Amino acid sequence: MDAEPMFIRLQTPAGAPFAFEIAVDLRGTRGFQVAGPGQGARRYELAQAEQPDYLDLFEALARDFGTRAPLARTPPPPRKGGPPLRPLLTEAVALEILYGYGDPCVVRVGEGEWRLLVTSNDAPNAFPILASSDLFAWRLTGFVFPEGRAPAWALTGPGQADFWAPEMHRVGEETWLCFTARMQDRSLAIGLARSRSPDGPFSADEAPIVTGDVIDAHILVDACGAPWLVWKKDDNGVWPRKLAALLHREPAWVSELFAAPEDQRTAVLALTLWPWAETLEPMEQFFVLQPLIEAATADFTGFARRIEGLRGRACGARVEEIAAISRALRTRIYAQRLSADGRSLEGEPAVILENDQPWEAHLIEGVWITQEGGRYHLLYAGNDFSTAHYGIGAAVAEAPTGPYRKSPEVLLSSSAEWWGPGHPSVALGPDGRHHVFLHAFRPGVAGYKAFRALLAAPIRFESVVVSVDGSTTR
């Protein structure tokens, strides 16, 4: 039997505006030897294959080879108003909570009682459940899926599992829980589980209710008492790998799609790495392609226009490849009626929201809808969750499926103290007012598996106005 190779050697295909030669060391943690434009070979070692390690690598490559520097290491743009965010949880209350309080769902479950559910990534115990009687002091009451109790369809294990964005809602006499997990084929799917109590135990359905790379499910009970499922099609996780593969086959197109020299070099680096990157687990592949994503979204409107222009000049199979990328540049949020027992979907899904505001760039996600004053007030997150450009937007409609009217301005954005506020949920607080709950990173440490704090601010829904303690949007 042949021995496993120790190195993968990669070379930029002919036709690109720049050329790299890269050797990837497969022994132990990642090692890279890179030679590129105007520079001889340089060696880089990663302590681990996590996002901070790749950010260190791409920072060094930016210095040495003139590629794009990572946005996750740059301060946020100036904040446009908005209140200070009140920290509620800034450290783990139990050792089993490995990654903080990402994608927080805060719900009021009784008089003076709240529950908090959060993302757990690949932790062995999925979805911590925390309880509080004042929103400040929290205790861990258990997990939705303790180790060994995850649904059979969900992938588990360090570096492979992704248990994201859980939500619980009272529907009739039951507590329904929706969540995202990876299937055995590595694609993302949405599952449902049920319990008589918000503290569980939860019993998951035998199969996902929505499949096909979908995330961030939300359950809405409308004015008539009918349940709806809302979710995001995760196309922003699709187009970067399609783009890298396309450019690897057509490297001359780099010059047509990217104007800035640093972005051209970044695209060439990505297309050179692609034959190796396509073999990686989904999250590590995202780490490797993140500079390419940021190069494309630095001028997102212009990039989308250039992609469309390229399609008009392409031939054969390349036409559909480019069309698939162009379609995936739009992130779509769907809503569909659930059956009364929540076991199936009824009718057809409706697109209720897309990314179309400059601040959102290439994606929107993390929807929460509050029914108030005869209207449906929708909060959502936009831009890249692992940078300080992430923020929260607002929209309003007269019906669950819209049409939703967006505010053109971001509602909550990064501050000097907290980066990347996102994935909102809304609940009544002890004062009887609505509060928005969200996660955020401490400055300079944004990223997958980085600790996220739980923060809050009072929020008002008045006619078509959403106000967060002085920050108003229409």
Is residue 474 within 8 A of residue 407, CB to CB? The reply is: yes
Both tokens of 25, joined, read 């060391």
Nearest to 386 by CA among 67, 145, 121: 121
Phi, psi of 37 (to 5 degrees): -55, 115
| Coil vs helix vs strand at 217 | strand
Close Cβ partners of 291 (under 8 Å, ≥ 6 residues apart): 58, 67, 68, 70, 266, 269, 270
Asked if residue 418 has pLDDT above 80, the reply is yes
> Which tens digits make up the pLDDT trace of 422-450?
999 999 999 999 999 999 999 988 889 99
Q: Is the pLDDT of residue 460 over 60?
A: yes
Q: How confident is the model at residue 78 (pLDDT cuts 50, 70, 90)?
A: confident
Lowest mean pLDDT among 200-214, 360-374, 450-464: 450-464
Q: List for the chain the helix, strand, coil content (%; round to 5).
A: 20, 40, 40
The Cα–Cα gap between 57 and 69 comes to 10
By three-state DSSP, how is residue 365 classified? strand
At 467, the pLDDT band (50, 70, 90 cuts) reads low
* pLDDT confidence band for 273 (50 / 70 / 90): very high
Residue 471 has pLDDT above 90, yes or no: no
Summarize pLDDT for 129-152 with one digit per residue, the tens: 999 999 999 999 999 999 999 999
Identify the CA nearest to 406 among candidates 336, 308, 473, 326: 473
* Distance of alpha carbon 421 from alpha carbon 437, whole angstroms: 10
Nearest to 126 by CA among 32, 197, 65, 191: 191
Rounded Cα–Cα distance for residues 15 and 25 (Å): 26
Contact 241, 271 (CB under 8 A): no
Listed in sequence order, the residues at least 6 apart from 397 whose beta carbon sits closer than 8 Å to its beta carbon are: 352, 375, 376, 378, 403, 404, 405
| Chain mean position to CA 466 | 24
Of the candidates 336, 338, 337, which has an alpha carbon nearest to the alpha carbon of residue 349? 336
If you count them, how many residues does the chain have?
A: 474
CB 351 within 8 A of CB 235: no
Q: Is the peptide bond before 282 cis (omega within 30 degrees of 0)?
A: no
176-235 residue pLDDT tens: 999 999 999 999 999 999 999 999 999 999 999 999 999 999 999 999 999 999 999 999
Between CA 467 and CA 450 the distance in angstroms is: 29
Instruction: List domains and CATH numbers for the chain.
Output: 7-74+237-328 (no CATH), 86-234+331-473 (2.115.10.20)
Q: State mean pLDDT over 329-339.
A: 97
pLDDT at site 80: 64
Between residues 474 and 380, the one the model is more confident about: 380
Task: State the DSSP code for 96.
Answer: T
Residue 4 scores a pLDDT above 60: no
Measure the CA–CA gap between 155 and 124, rounded to whole angstroms.
Answer: 11
Q: Which residue has the tokens 């959403």?
A: 466
Q: How far apart are CA 192 and CA 208, in angstroms?
A: 7
Mean pLDDT (whole number) for 409-421: 92
Q: Name which of 159, 161, 197, 157 is nearest 179 in CA terms.
A: 161
DSSP 252: G
Q: DSSP string covering 126-180, please?
A: EEEEEEESSSSSEEEEEEEE-TT-S-TTB--STTT--BEEEEEEEETTEEEEEEE
Q: In this structure, is the dihedral angle defined by the CA atoms of residues 194, 117, 473 and 409, taken in order, positive or negative?
A: negative
Please check the confidence at residue 473 and state whether its pLDDT lies above 70: no
What does the mean pLDDT of the chain come to? 94
Identity (one letter) of the amino acid at 68? Answer: R
